[in-house]
Amino acid sequence: MPLLKLYIDQQVLNSPHVVSIRSRIDVPVEIVRNAQEVFESILCSNDPVRKAKTILFLTRNKGAFVRPCPGTRVYTCCGYQILHIGTFCTMDCSYCILQSYFHPPVLQYFVNHDSLFLELDNLFLKKKITRIGTGEFTDSMIWEMWTDLSSRLIPKFSKQSHAVLELKTKTTAIDRLKHLRHNRKTIVAWSLNTDRVIKNEEFHTASLSARLRAAATCESWGYPLAFHFDPMVIYDGCEEEYRGVVEKLFSHVSSKNIVWISIGTFRFMPSLKSVIQKRFPESKIIYGEFISGLDGKMRYFKPLRIELYRKIISWIREYAPEVLIYFCMEDDEVWQKSMGFIPQDLGGLPKMLDNSAVRICELKAG
C-alpha cells in the first residue's frame, strides 16, 4: 500500500537516517512528541490495520535490537535470533498475526542504528554460530525503497564468520543487493504459497513466479537461499497445488544452494479470527478443521497436518534429498510421524540448522 503520511519522533528529527528517508518520501510530515499521538491517529480509523499500513513512524528502538525468537516450550523451537529493525508491513495478508499482535499496529522504523550496530559488534565478538533475521515483526525487504539498511547490514555480516543474516520477504525488492559484498553470510529467503493462496489471502505481495525469479537472480549473485512454506493452507485441491509450487521452485534454483526449507500450517490466536472476519469477509481461511493447540493457537487437526507434511516432504526430497527441512513450532509426534525422527536424535533443531549454515554459508564452526 502507498504511504500517505510520515510521522517523526521529535527526538530523532535530526538523525541522518531520518533526513535521508525524508528525501525519498513525498508525503505530508508531522513531528510528534511521543508514539501515543501516532496511535491515536490510527485508532480513530474504521480500519486501524489498513490505515497503519499507509503511515510510517520514524522513531527509536528503546529496547534490545537483538532478541530471541518468541517461541514456546511445548513446540520445538529453532533457536533463531531476531534483529528488531521495525514493525508491521505494507503488504496485507489476511492471516497475518501482526494484525492482532500489536495494539495498535504501527508501521515504524527504528533509526538509532548506532545502538543496532553496537549490539551486532557485541554479538560477533562471541564468535558463536548465530542465525539472525529481520523478518519476524515485519517483512525484511519492504524498507528497501526508503532506507539503506540492507546496504549496511549485508557488508557488516560479510566481515565476520560466525553469524548469518536471513532476509525473509514476499517482495521482489532485491535490486540493491546486486553489488553488495556478502561473502555468503546473508541468506535471502522467500515465503512461498500456492497461486490460489497468494491471490486470495496475500494481498499486495509479489506473485509466486516473481518471487522465484527474484530468488534465481539472487542465486546468480552468489547469495545462499532459503524458503518457507508457511503458512500452508488446507483446502480442496491444495495437495496438487503445493506439489506444483515445489516443482516450480526447483525449476528456478539449485537445491545445493538452499540452506533450509521450513514448513508449517496455518495457525492463529483466537483473537485474530474476528479481525479476519471483519477485514477479509470473503476469506475462508479460518473455517477449516481447527483445534486449540498447546500454545493456545488454533491449529489444523494433527492428522491433517501430518498427512500434508508427509506429502510435501516427499515432493521436496524428489528434487533435494539433502536439503534441510524443518518444522516451525511443531511437537515431537509430528516430527516423528512426518520425518521419521525427532530433532533430539540429531542433536536438536538449533544444531541441525547451525550445521547447515556452516556447510552452505561457509561459517566457522568454532
Query: For the chain, how big is the Rg over CA atoms in Å?
Result: 20
Q: pLDDT tens, 256-285?
A: 999 999 999 999 999 999 999 999 999 999
Q: Which residue has the cell 564452526?
A: 365
Residue 74 pLDDT: 64
Q: Is the C-alpha dihedral spanning 248, 250, 251, 252 positive or negative? A: positive
The one-letter amino acid code at 113 reads: H
pLDDT band of 236, cuts 50, 70, 90: very high
The Cβ-side half-sphere exposure at 230, using a 13 Å CA radius, reads 22
Residue 105 pLDDT: 84
Q: pLDDT tens, 168-208?
A: 999 999 999 999 999 999 999 999 999 999 999 999 999 99
Which residues lie below 8 Å from residue 232, measured CB to CB, with a gap of 6+?
Answer: 193, 238, 242, 263, 264, 265, 266, 308, 312
**Closest C-alpha to 352, from 263, 260, 264:** 260
Strand partners, 54: none
Q: What is the DSSP letter of 324?
A: -
Q: pLDDT tens, 329-354?
A: 899 999 999 999 999 999 999 999 99
- Percent of the chain past pLDDT 70, that is, above it, reads 98
**Res 75 pLDDT > 90:** no
Residue 194 pLDDT: 98
pTM, rounded to two decimals:
0.96
Domain spans of the chain, in order of start: 64-85+114-361
Q: Which residue has the cell 495498535?
A: 104
Q: pLDDT tens, 298-312?
A: 999 999 999 999 999
Residue 1 pLDDT: 81
pLDDT band of 165, cuts 50, 70, 90: very high
Which residues lie below 8 Å from residue 275, measured CB to CB, with a gap of 6+?
Answer: 49, 99, 100
Please classify residue 236 by burial: count the beta carbons closer than 10 Å to its beta carbon, then call 0-12 exposed, 13-18 middle and 19+ buried: exposed
Write the CA distances from 214 to 26, 72, 173, integer angstroms: 28, 33, 8
- Say if domain 64-85+114-361 classifies as CATH 3.80.30.30: yes
Residue 155 pLDDT: 98
Q: Is the C-alpha dihedral spanning 3, 67, 203, 149 positive or negative? A: positive
Residue 364 pLDDT: 87
Alpha carbon distance 169, 175 (integer Å)? 14
Alpha carbon distance 209, 213 (integer Å)? 6
